[in-house]
Amino acid sequence: MRNIKVILEYDGTDFYGFQYQPGVPTIQGELEKVLSKILKERVTVYGSGRTDAGVHALGQVINFRSQAKIPIDRVCIAMNSLLPPSIAAISACEVKEDFHARYSARSRLYRYVILNRSVRSAIQGRFCWHVPEPLDVCAMSQAAECLVGVHDFTAFATADRDERDSSSVRNVMQASVEHQGEHVVFNIRANAFLRSMVRSIVGTLVEIGLGKRRASEMCEILESCDRRLAGKTAPPQGLFLVEVEY
C-alpha cells in the first residue's frame, strides 16, 4: 500500500469547505471522486486542515493510500485533467506509511487579506475582505503581538468547534499585520487552529484598526476566554491556508 502526499491550491468560493458533506460540493468530495476514478479503487483523502466554506488554499496538503501502480509523476497530471478549474494539484510524492497530512503537521500558516480602499474591487472580491475606512495598521500590529506564545484561544473559537479538540490551547509562533499597497495582510502561524479562530481574530483586529477598540484589549480578550468579548467573525473570502510545515 502506497502513501501519497499531494499539495493543492483551490478557490474555495463555490465549496462548502474542505470536509465531505453529502449533497453539497466540498474539496474532499471532489478529490475522492476524482482519485477513485483515476486509481480504480475507493480512496479516502486526509487533509492538513478542514478549511471552512469560502476559504481558499495555496498550500493545502492531503494524503491518501492506494495500491495502484500509477507513476508518481503522473498523479498531478491525472488529477488536474478531471478536477474542476478551481482545484489544482501542484505536486505529489510518496511518503512513509505513518505520514498523516493532519496529525504529522508541525505548524500551519494562514493569511488573511483585506482590501483597504474606499471602493470595492470587481476582480478581487472573491479573495479579500473590503474594508473602506482607513485602518490603523500600527495599532493592529501591536494587538497581534499579544497572540504570540502558548495561550487558551477560547475567546476566538466558535461554540460548535470539533469535540475532538478537547483543549483550546494553541501555540502561535508568528502573528503580524502589514501594509502591502492597498491591502492589509495578517499572517499567523501556529501548531494548530480552532474552528474560525483566524477569522475571529481578524474581526477583532479590524475593530482595533478602526479605532473602536484599544490595541491592549486584544490581550484582555485573550485572557478572558469569553467569545462574547471578541469582535465579529471576518468573512471567509479573505482567508488562505498558505503553508503546512512537517
Give the pLDDT confidence of 69-124 residue by residue, as tens digits: 999 999 999 999 999 999 999 999 999 999 999 999 999 999 999 999 999 999 99
Residue 84, C-alpha cell as written in the block: 474542476
Domain match, 112 and 164 both: yes
Percent of the chain with pLDDT over 90: 96
Residue 36, C-alpha cell as written in the block: 477513485
Alpha helices in the chain (DSSP H): 27-39, 75-82, 137-145, 197-209, 217-224
**Residue 61 predicted with pLDDT over 70:** yes
**Residue 141 predicted with pLDDT over 70:** yes
Average pLDDT of span 133-140: 98
pLDDT value at residue 160: 61
Is 242 within 8 Å of 59 (Cβ atoms)? yes
- Residue 75 belongs to domain with CATH number: 3.30.70.580
State the residue range of the domain holding 179.
Answer: 107-245
Q: Rounded to two decimals, what is the model's pTM?
A: 0.94
Domain match, 32 and 90 both: yes
* Secondary structure of residue 177 in the 3-state scheme: strand
**Residue 162 predicted with pLDDT over 80:** no
Average pLDDT of span 190-210: 97
| Cα–Cα distance measured from residue 210 to residue 189, given in angstroms and rounded to the nearest whole number | 24
- Catalytic residue numbers? 52
pLDDT band at 166 (very low <50, low <70, confident <90, very high): confident
Query: Distances from the Cα of 170 to the Cαs of 36, 49, 149, 191, 236, in angstroms?
Result: 35, 15, 8, 7, 21
In a domain, 102, yes or no: no
pLDDT value at residue 220: 97
Strands 56-66, 2-10: pairing is antiparallel
Domain match, 170 and 223 both: yes
User: Considering 34, 69, 95, which residue would you say is the last residue of a domain?
Assistant: 95
Average pLDDT of span 179-203: 97
| Cα–Cα distance measured from residue 154 to residue 196, given in angstroms and rounded to the nearest whole number | 11
Pick from 78, 57, 56, 84: nearest CA to 66: 78
Kindly report, residue by residue over 18-60, the tens digit of the pLDDT. Answer: 999 999 999 999 999 999 999 999 999 999 999 999 999 999 9
Domain match, 90 and 113 both: no
pLDDT value at residue 74: 97
Q: How many domains does the chain have?
A: 2
User: Considering 95, 128, 160, which residue would you say is the last residue of a domain?
Assistant: 95
Q: How far is CA 211 from the centre of its chain?
A: 27
User: Considering 69, 95, 121, which residue would you say is the last residue of a domain?
Assistant: 95
Upper half-sphere CA count for residue 147 (Cβ side, 13 Å): 31
pLDDT value at residue 10: 98
pLDDT band at 158 (very low <50, low <70, confident <90, very high): confident
Percent of the chain with pLDDT over 70: 97
| Cα–Cα distance measured from residue 198 to residue 204, given in angstroms and rounded to the nearest whole number | 10
Domain match, 119 and 193 both: yes
Domain match, 117 and 30 both: no
Q: How far is CA 144 from the centre of its chain?
A: 18
Domain match, 87 and 207 both: no
- Residue 241 belongs to domain with CATH number: 3.30.70.660
Residues with Cβ within 8 Å of 230's Cβ and at least 6 positions away in sequence, in order, are 155, 156, 200, 201, 203, 204, 221
* Mean pLDDT, the chain, whole residue set: 96
CA dihedral angle for residue 190, residue 51, residue 130, residue 156, rounded to 10 degrees: -50
Q: Across the strands, what pairs with 244? A: 108
pLDDT value at residue 164: 53
